[in-house]
Structure 1
Amino acid sequence: MAPTSSNIVTGGRGKDWIRWTVSVLLGCCIGILFFYTTGQMSSYETSYPRAFHPPAPVKNSTANGETNSMQSSLYKGSLEFFNKLPKVRVPSINCAALFEGIEKEVQNAKSLMKSSPKKIIPDKDILNDASNCDKFVRDRQYIMSTLSREEEEYPIAYSMVVFKEVEQVERLLRAIYRPQNLYCFHVDKKSPENFYIAVRQISNCFENVFIASKRIDVQWGQYSVLEADLICMEELLKKSRKWKYFINLTGQEFPLKTNLELVKILKTYNGANDIEGTVKRRNMNRFKDLPTPPYNITPMKGSVHIVASRPFVDFVLNDPKAKEFHEWDKKAGIPDESFFTTLNHNPQLGAPGAFTGKDPETHPEKKPFNTRFKNWGDWPFDYPCHGKRVRMVCIFGIGDLPLLMQRKEFFSNKFYLDYEPLAYDCMEELHYNRTMAAYMLPFDNSYYKNLSYVRNHVKVKW
């Protein structure tokens, strides 16, 4: 309660009045600053979402006519739910209808993309914009607040291996950026100079974003794919002791979960690693010219994309057994598809968070791979592709949005900005709206809590 004139006196109560006045003024300043950094309208002309406008809590009618706060999951895919999210919208299209798969809106979107093809913003233009960091951060509405104590106390480290199209790289960074997290860019050595300089300038706008000191020429199928991530891993470990989990990304992906959701899931993981693994689908020809692996190791096959605890990252880089296997694996065919997964699925090595269950095979139901949703068109990652396939992988289009909205994975791969770009725009809209709605809706972690690798893993000492 505010002090009245009758209790404004000298002594202790006078000091109370001063403290109350200062606290009110400080609170107002903080509120204005938060609006300025996360909600100010931008004049920058592009298709990414504008200011956040958090909605009032959504009400549902119960059987007896009473109203309760919405208890539905964040993954509910109804138009009614989507339309009650914060009013951030992609211009000229109804993303809510596209997420519902409504054919009329799908055709409208296809017609719009045909009549008005997207013009990718040149790298040099983004470089020019980023030369004024304050304006760049403000206009693109980066979230410069930790948003919650829970997120502040559970930072995440990212490596981002990138090589082209600064616009898409910057939009990915903006979607996942939080000041408490840590981000390492590895820029391919063969990337155009304008691309490298633009990424460097963007990184200079943030204290917690940096470019790896060593750049290499990344070639598919070669050791360099793995090496780029290892370079960032090592520098992330040295930069900060605070982060809890590591996630590696490329520039053509987009999050399916908000930062708050990721934190809640990773806390549920409690040190477990989320790494694909298979013995049945591995290609033994990749190891045919190699000696027997050390430490009675069974070589595995899996994705280079991982979600791993900090102690696992430390083990990968510094444990003598991991180093010896690293030297062995470097000579294998496509070593990035055998390194992380082998360390994670040979628990006799003692890697923190490694899987200790009986069956290491990745399976959509028994042992799902939640790090990445990547539609290969082949079991266990076989789904209809409404976009187009490039080297088997589905490049997502607007017809894939209903499926993407329902996925439980952390990130989706992959998107091309020059192919059905409204799909990426709508994913961006959904992600930004969910970011704000997440603080008003409950999160059910039972699916993640019951995963086999969460229940069966080498315990982690944080």
Structure 2
Amino acid sequence: MAPLSKEEEDFPLAFIITIHKELETFVRLLRAIYAPQNVYCIHIDDKALEEYKTSVRSLSGCFPNVFLASVSEKADINCMKDLVKSPVKWRRVINLCGQDFPIQSNLELIRYIQGSEWKDRNMTPGVKQPPSMKHRTEFPYVEVKGIHVAPRANAPKKGPPPHNLTIYFGTAYYSLTRPFVEFVLSDPVAKDLLEWSRDTFSPDEHYWVTLNHMKEAPGSRVDGEWEGNIRAIKWRDQEGRAHQGCKGQYIRDICIFGTGDLPWIIERDSMFANKFETASFPEAVDCLELWHRHKVLQQASVPIQPSWRLTTEVEVSNSTLTLIPEDCV
């Protein structure tokens, strides 16, 4: 409940977290990334159960710098509108989902995005839209029963993107500068692209990366491609190349991490890892949370309060023994 260093106090971050399930995983994510100098906008998807929404509202009410998005649709844009009105003078915004978990500490996040490669630059990994992905923006799509999207029946092709924009394709995850956010919320081209993108397959996979390739956008990376160590994810189709298999289980071709995946995650040193499920593989979250908190406290430049520790430490023969679950050993 206090900044852990002057460096972190002077560089507050904003987080947008979109959630609809896995309440315990979200709570532990928030606990891991929480710092009083930062600000957190929580967007609860409409399909979440009312009991879930009530629990999140109660939790957010405990902190002056954690709030729910004022509008329930278009999560990122509406959270950004709320964040620019916040009294917290945040410098960067990072978006998350409720099944992410941090690998880097808050201090490491700041040093990474303020390093020579990313200082005052937006991080939106992606490339020019490949032919295999063009169908996602060429045809209008509609959400089916809140579960998935499908092409609208008998609908003609969409018109070309506004302002003759070249569409890019990439990850929906980002790290954006505050001037870029203000540009997105006010620029006519950005607004027109948002409107055109409403009925595309997955707007977040092209919207941010396309805008970040506009030379007029603050902090843009016109020649950027897949640079940016934003997420550690094990995709099924990358098994044998980017990783040696999922030690938890694949769901929709993405690995739900088990404890056996943790060495790979830590070695990657990404900003965050995805996905975790406390209900399915609780030990993976237990171990990573302990590892992350230990690193955070080691890096702190202020006196450590006992309540900040997640484990009990006892003195044994002039050495310190940290008690951790057996599954983490």
TM-score bracket for this pair, using the shorter chain length: 0.7 to 0.9
Residues 286-297 of structure 1 aligned to structure 2 (within 5 Å): 286-288=136-138, 289-297=157-165
Give the alignment partner of residue 90 of structure 2, picking from 239, 243, 247.
243
Name 1:270's counterpart in structure 2: 119
2:280 corresponding residue in structure 1: 419
The alignment status of 1:370 with 2:259, answered yes or no, reads no
Match of 1:406 among 267, 288, 291: 267
- Pick the aligned partner of 1:284 from 114, 134, 138: 134
RMSD: 1.8
Moved more, 201-210 or 330-339: 330-339
Q: Distance in 2 between matches of 1:279 and 1:377?
A: 23
1:352 has 2:218 as partner:
yes
How far the C-alpha of 1:439 sits from its partner, in A, is 4.2
1:297, 1:383 → 2: CA distance?
35
Q: How does 1:448-459 map to 2 (within 5 A)?
A: none
Alpha-carbon separation, structure 1, partners of 2:172 and 2:182: 17
How far apart are residue 332 of structure 1 and its match?
2.3
Distance 1:241 1:311 in 2: 15
In structure 2, distance between residues paired with 1:311 and 1:300:
21
Q: Which has the higher helix share?
A: 1
CA drift at 1:266: 2.1
Is the 1:246–1:307 Cα contact (8 Å) retained in structure 2?
Answer: yes
Alignment correspondent of 1:453: none
Partner Cα separation in structure 1 for residue 158 and residue 120 of structure 2:
32
Distance 2:206 2:232 in 1: 19
Tell me, in whole angstroms, the C-alpha distance in 2 between the residues paired with 1:324 and 1:262: 32
Larger Rg: 1
Name the SS for the 1:210 alignment partner: strand
The superposition leaves residues 316-344 of structure 1 with CA deviations (integer Å, 9 ceiling, x where unpaired) of: 11111111111122232222211111111
The reply on whether 1:230 has 2:77 as its aligned counterpart is yes
Please state whether the residue corresponding to 1:375 is helix, strand or coil. Answer: coil
User: 5+ residue gaps in structure 2?
Assistant: 139-156, 302-329
How far apart, in 2, do the equivalents of 1:172 and 1:247 lie?
14
Query: 2:126 & 2:211 partners in 1: Cα distance?
Result: 10
Give 2:72's aligned residue. Answer: 215
For the residue of structure 2 that corresponds to 1:190, the secondary structure is coil
Q: CA deviation at 1:379?
A: 5.2
Conserved 8 A contact 2:60-2:66: yes
Map of 2:196 onto structure 1: 328
- Kindly report which structure 2 residues correspond to 1:68-147, keeping only aligned pairs within 5 A, or say none: 144-147=1-4
SS at match of 1:197: helix
Distance between the aligned counterparts of 2:181 and 2:88, measured in 1?
12
Shift of 1:242: 0.8
Distance in 2 (alpha carbons) for counterparts of 1:189 and 1:375:
28
TM-score, with length taken from structure 2: 0.80
Query: Counterparts of 2:233 and 2:80 in 1: how far apart (Å)?
Result: 23
Q: Which residue of 2 aligns with 1:438?
A: 299
Distance 2:235 2:191 in 1: 31
For 1:430 and 1:408, the matched residues in 2 are separated by 13
Q: Residues 389 and 256 from structure 1, CA distance in 2 versus in 1: closer, same or farther, beyond 3 angstroms?
A: same
Shift of 1:408: 2.6
> Partners of 2:251 and 2:164 in 1: how far apart?
38
Counterparts of residues 132-171 of structure 1 (less than 5 Å): 144-171=1-28
Unpaired runs of at least 5, structure 1:
1-143, 217-226, 441-462
Matched, 1:314 2:182: yes
Count of aligned residue pairs for this structure pair: 278
Establish whether residue 340 from structure 1 lines up as the match of residue 208 from structure 2: yes
* Corresponding residue to 1:259 among 95, 103, 106: 106
Higher strand share: 2
Conserved? CA contact 1:277–1:345, under 8 Å: no
Secondary structure (helix, strand or coil) at the match of 2:169 reads: coil
Query: Is 2:46 the partner of 1:189?
Result: yes
- Give the C-alpha shift of residue 419 in structure 1: 1.9
Deviation at 1:276, TM superposition (A): 1.6
| Structure 1 position 181, deviation (Å) | 0.2
TM (norm. structure 1) is 0.58
Tell me the residue number matched to 2:308: none
- Quote the offset at 1:200 in angstroms: 0.8
Report if aligned partners of 1:389, 1:395 keep a CA contact under 8 Å in 2: yes
Q: Does the 8 A contact of 1:165 with 1:195 survive in 2?
A: no
